[in-house]
Each structure stands twice: as structure tokens, then as C-alpha cells.
Structure 1
Amino acid sequence: MPGAVVLSGFGPPEVLRWAEVSLPEPADGQIRIKVKAAGVGPTDLAIRGGHLKAFPLGPDTVLGFEAAGTVDAVGPGVEGTAVGDEVAALLFGLGGYAQYALASIWTRKPAAVSWVDAAALPSSAEAAAGVLRQLDVKRGETLLLFGGGGSVGVIATQLAVAQGVKVLSAVGARDDALAARLGATPVRYGPGLLDEVRRSGDVQAVFDAAGKGVLADAVSLAGGPERVITLSDPAAADFGVMLSHPSPDRAPGALDEAMTMLAEGRLTMRERMTMPMAQAAQAHRLLESGEVHKRIILTL
């Protein structure tokens, strides 16, 4: 039987364990992917810890919003994709930490893009494009981006700058140069953040891609919660802020566009490192500890 990293309960990284699972069968409009690599994101960590009630999960849930691999089976109604095709997929139903995953949204992986890069792209690209769309940021406006050095933040910065938006990127010292290189104005996390942002001018929208307790400041700077969105802060409802999560209509077409940009060398991504998929618990532990500042990709 195939294997997967399953969630045995909510709690510390140790609740993730490798187990045998049934081979999933693709339904209408789905493909089954033999996974080569899967991305680990901050939302995965928040779900595992039981902090996001928007994701009520049953026993033996398999985490992972994104994966890359070879098409292994094609469900009814799928056209233009065949067994053997190399793809990257956005997994709205989770399931990436596995040998086989089902997907309803995917894009072809160009030969110029590695498996690791392909697996690192879908969730970050969809989240970046989707939240910018939900915030309705316009040319000439100023966007404050928390987590500007993260995988979503790096892509969001590039997309917003390309739209003529001024980006204030909240980062740590190590990411100052990266934020500036991507076209943003870096602002430093810490007690002086509010004053530094206010000196830079009015903020019309705030994108919290970090989910680390910044919503009070975000709402204050934006003049209210209406144009503040977070990806993973469990306190969102307490501040009247939208908690945005993947959906088929949040950013249709984002994955196709981002993959083309990546293949053509027009998209920068956060630095990546790989770990064997069976070590998913250790990957979560490293990310939570702050010991690594790279995007972790699980490989098979």
C-alpha cells in the first residue's frame, strides 16, 4: 500500500507520522499524482497545532497544499492531461505529504523547472495573487506586507510592484536586501515598526503573510479591518479581519501565470532546502524553532 504522513491528532510536530494509506481514486475533473516533492507552509503548521478552526479535520488527515509529480491516473472529464505528464498542483483538499495525491487544479511543469521549485510554487503563488486580488490593491496605493521575506511575501512583493503598488515589506535584518532587490521598501519588525511605517506615508491595505500576532498594528495602520487580510493568524475574528484560505475562485489562473514566469526566469522565490518526506515532523520542528530560514520541500 502507498504511504503518507498522517495527522494523528492536533498538537506538536510529533503528531505527524508515516503510515500506510489507501490509494486515492480520482473523481470527476481530478488527476492522481505520483508525488515527487511537496511544499511545507506556515498554514500547515497552524493546522497541525489546532489553531485554525476554519480547517476542521478528521483523523489521519494528510497535510500539504501543494505538490509536484507525474500524473498517475486521470478521472472522468479531464481533458488535455494524460498519464505521464509532469505537473505541479494546488491541493485545496490538502494531501501533499503523500506518495499519491489527488488534484483538481494543476499546471504543466516545464522542463526548465525542477521538481523542488515546482513544488514550492503553487500555494505561495495562489496565496500571493489571491490576497492581492481580495485586498483590491491599486496602482499608486501603499501596501504593508508582513512576512515579506517568506515564500508568499516574496512573490506578493513582485506581483504588487509590477502592478504599480508601493510595498512596505516588514522583514528581519537578514531580509532587508532581498526586500529592496524585489522593489519594496524594507521596514524592520520590532517596537519601532509603527512609527517607521507612519513616516513612510499612509497605508491603504495590509497583507499579513506571517500570522504572528501583528493584527492590532495592522488594523491601526490601515484605519480599520476592512482592507486587512491574514493567511494564518487564529486571532483574525477578534479583530474583524478576514482569514483568507485557498479556494478555486481566489486566484484562478495564478498557477499557470506564475509557472510561466518561473520558467522564463522572471520570478524570484525564497531560498529552498529539501528533506525526506518521512521527516515531515522534523521539518515542522525546524520551521517553528526558527533554526532555518529557507523554504522546506519534502521529497520522495
Structure 2
Amino acid sequence: MRAVSYDAYAPDNSRLRYGELPEPKVAPGQVLIAVRAAGVNPVDWKVMAGGLDPLMDAVFPVIPGWDVAGVVVRTGPDAPEFAPGDEVMSYARKETVHGGTFAEYIAVDASAVARKPAGLDWAQAGGLPLAGLTALRSLDWLAVERDDILLVHGAAGGVGSLAVQLGAARGAQVIGTASERNHAFVRRLGAEPVTYGDGLVERVRALAPGGVSTVADFVGGQLETTLAVLAPGGRHASVADPTVEQHGGHWVWVRPDGAKLAELAGLADLGALTVEVSATFPLEKAAEAFDASRTGHTRGKIVVVP
């Protein structure tokens, strides 16, 4: 099969290669998916740089990518949930860094797979799993509900744009930080946008004089601002800053979870959740997709399409 891979850690794209690799085996409890779209996440190139080596073993060559949407080709033993031809998606992270989604095929545990929502096209479905599950886990931990005022740091990004929609769907008042060029986009998602940078605390306080009850940080480096605008007894979480745990917050990680992914699919089918795709790249140009992700200024998701 055609795939992108690297044979050693590198801080850049110098080890990325595009070529033929063996098709993955399909173990009991797994399904083999023909990839139609694979979302790009910052963790992909951070893993390539060795960023998770203290936590996860790598088996080289590594195929990057943890997001996938595609069609079930065949199932292994004891995987009755799916059948060939099913359109599915998955957050396909595994115990080791090895066989990812930047390929024509990937084998995934059936427990991590959900049916693709009809309301999303392939690129949107491929960009949903990791970002959507991260946003959902953050808001679940924060217990966001109708009476909350939710501040989302990075509201125009891949995770933040989904968190805004999830918060709005729960009836919360949502405030989202974003550059001015993305204000109309953030407002369309259901949040009141505020420009990040100097004066952010004052701008948030103007919208929430008593402070915000919940804060979801999808950027990092926002702890000082978060604590300055958080109401007494408020809750805060971050996906990018582990030091929040020293200040009463929660450092969010997300695990593969087909049931939770199906929950997101249901919201998408109801029209309460959509995925903004900023750019798509063919598989052989995965390096360009990584470069675009590294800029940190992408609106929504970047997707690789075999």
C-alpha cells in the first residue's frame, strides 16, 4: 500500500518518505479501513520529533496520523460491530507509535470506531475524531451546562471551533479568543469573539463582569489570563499546559472511544456540529500539511486525502 512514513525521529520533515509499505494485518477485534481522509493534528509532527518518546514506544518505520475516516474493507475475528462497506471514522491512536492513518489502509480496534455521520463529508469526518473527542472530554470534565459562561482559548482552531459548538449546544454562553480575521467565523459557530493579546482580560471582563465559570484552553500559555477572569469556584482545563493542575485545573488527555465518537456523530447528523476544513493535501504532500499545521494559525482542520 502507499503510505507516508519516517524511519527515525526528526524535528523537521527530513525523515518523511512516501512509498510502498506492507498492508497491515487485521487482529482479532479489529477492522481494516480503506482511508478516505486523515486529519492532521499538531501531535503528529510533535510525535515525529520524539515528543512522546518518554510515554510511548516507537516501532520504525512509523506511519504518522491518528485520525481517519474511511470504508471497512474486512474485519478480524470477534469484530461483529462492523461489516465490509460500512462508512466509519476513528481516533486510531495505539499503544505504540507505528501504524498510523497516513496510508491507504489502517487496522483499528473496533471499540475505537464509530459510523461516519451522513452530515459530514469525508474530509470533515477525517478531521473530527481527535479534535472532537478532545473538545468533548474537556467540556465533560468542566461539566459545562446551560447556566455556564465558557471561555474558549483558541476558538478558531481545530479543537476550539468544536468546543465552541459543543458549549453552545449545551446552552452555555460562549466567549472565544481569536484573531480579528476569524471573528465572523467564531460568531457563526455560536460564540462572542474577543481578540487575544494585550487587554484580553479587560475584554473578557466587559462581557462577563462577574467572571467566567469555565475556561477551556486549547492554546497553552494562558494560565495567567484564565485565573484573572475565572469567577470564584470556577473550573478550568487545558490540553496544552500541565501546570494548570497546580492551580486547581485539569490537564486534558483523550483516549480512543468509539461510543463518545458516536455521540459526536449524532450531533453532526442533527446539524449541531460541523467541521471547518481549511485545507486538504494529497498523501504524497503530507510534509506540506505538517508545515501548514506548524504555523499555528490554521482555522479549523487540515486533512490529508490518499
Q: TM-score, normalised by structure 1?
A: 0.86
- Once superposed, what is the RMSD of the aligned Cα atoms? 2.9
| Partners of 1:9 and 1:15 within 8 A in 2 | yes
Which residue of the partner structure matches residue 96 of structure 1?
101
Distance 1:230 1:52 in 2: 18
- 1:239 deviates by 6.4
Letter in 2 for 1:79: P
Alignment partner for residue 296 of structure 1, among 281, 284, 302?
302
Aligned to 1:227, the other structure's residue is in SS state strand
Using the alignment, how far apart are the partners of 1:278 and 1:238 within structure 2?
A: 43
What corresponds to 1:207 in structure 2? 216
Counterpart-to-counterpart distance in 1, 2:179 and 2:89: 31
Alignment of 1:147-226 (within 5 A): 147-199=154-206, 200-201=208-209, 202-211=211-220, 213-222=221-230
Q: 1:162 to 1:114 in 2, by over 3 A?
A: closer
- How far the C-alpha of 1:130 sits from its partner, in A, is 1.1
Q: Could you tell me whether the CA contact under 8 Å between 2:89 and 2:125 is conserved in 1? A: yes
Q: 1:225 to 1:62 in 2, by over 3 A?
A: farther
Alignment check: 8 A CA contact 2:124 2:276 kept = no
For 1:90, give the aligned amino acid: Y
Residue number in structure 2 paired with 1:245? 253
Q: 2:113 & 2:222 partners in 1: Cα distance?
A: 33
| Regions of 4+ moved over 6 Å | 223-226, 237-240
Instruction: Tell me which amino acid in the other structure corresponds to 1:139.
Output: R
Contact 2:151 2:175 in 1 (8 A): yes
Percentage of identical aligned residues: 32
**Is residue 2:288 matched to residue 1:282?**
yes
Change (3 A) 1:228 1:129: same
Letter in 2 for 1:205: T
**Alpha carbons 1:147, 1:171 under 8 Å: kept:** yes
The total of aligned residue pairs comes to 297
Normalized against structure 2, the TM-score is what? Answer: 0.84
Would you tell me which structure has more strand in proportion to its own residues?
Answer: 2
- 1:229 equivalent in alignment to 2:237: yes
Q: Work out whether residues 187 and 193 of structure 2, in 8 Å CA contact, stay in contact via their aligned partners in 1.
A: yes
Runs of at least 5 residues in structure 2 that lack an aligned partner in the other structure: none
Partner of 1:267: 273
- 1:23: Cα distance to partner? 2.6
Q: Structure 1 residues 130, 266: closer, same or farther in 2, change over 3 A?
A: same
* Contact 1:28 1:75 (8 Å CA) reproduced: yes
In the other structure, the counterpart of 2:18 is: 18
Q: Look up the equivalent residue of 2:189 and give its one-letter code.
A: L
